[in-house]
Amino acid sequence: MLEHSRQGDGKKELTDLNKLADEYLRLAYHGIRAKDKNFNAEFELDLDESLPEVNVVPQDIGRVLLNLINNAFHACAEQRERASADRSVSTYQPLVSVSTKLNGKKVEICVTDNGPGIPEQVREKIFQPFFTTKPTGQGTGLGLSLSYDIVKAHGGDLKVETREGEGTEFIISLPA
């Protein structure tokens, strides 16, 4: 709750978002593996090498990336549990990918997973503070709300595209 109400005091600086995306993807993966030795997933990067450095608060954008990537890995873990319960779907391979691209005057960072997707009845609530679909004790419901606020404070946008049973993509769009 303190994170959500905190006023940003970080300073913006020119930041290599490719480097940030790479760093936080690895950090999230190894963080989850440290908590759950049985967790395993593929992850990949597709980084636009022509991406310019962007004026952001790196710690804040890093927090957004870490939250989105952690959520993606958790979605994959949930999908793996569903697949193992349904023996007919034993070929499921969890995959999280992070990509960057320059799109006109915007820089986009996409975090994509092949998890279960977000059910239609909760999509409009996911950016609301304290909304969570996780079991009690496993989530505060502040991660996506905080991420949304951080991206908006940087003059950007955070959108979600999802298909139930196929996966989810969060798109961070920031001014270049």
Could you tell me which of 108, 91, 90 has the C-alpha nearest to residue 99?
Answer: 108
Q: Is residue 2 part of a domain?
A: no
- Residues pairing with 46 in the sheet: 99
Which tens digits make up the pLDDT trace of 74-113?
A: 999 888 888 777 765 568 899 999 999 999 999 999 999 9
How many domains, the chain?
A: 1
Helix (H) or strand (E) holding 13: strand 13-15
pLDDT band per the 50, 70, 90 thresholds, residue 138: low
By residue range, what is the domain housing residue 39?
A: 14-86+97-175
Q: Is residue 92 part of a domain?
A: no
The size of the chain, in residues, is 176
pLDDT of res. 46: 97
Q: Which amino acid is at 142?
A: L
Alpha carbon distance 51, 151 (integer Å): 18
Q: Is residue 37 part of a domain?
A: yes
Domain containing residue 134: CATH number: 3.30.565.10
Alpha carbon distance 93, 77 (integer Å): 10
pLDDT over 90 at 24, yes or no: yes
Q: Is residue 4 part of a domain?
A: no
Instruction: Please state the pTM of the whole predicted model.
Output: 0.87
Contact status, residue 173 vs residue 157, Cβ threshold 8 Å: yes
Q: Is residue 112 part of a domain?
A: yes
Q: Is residue 7 part of a domain?
A: no
pLDDT over 70 at 9, yes or no: no
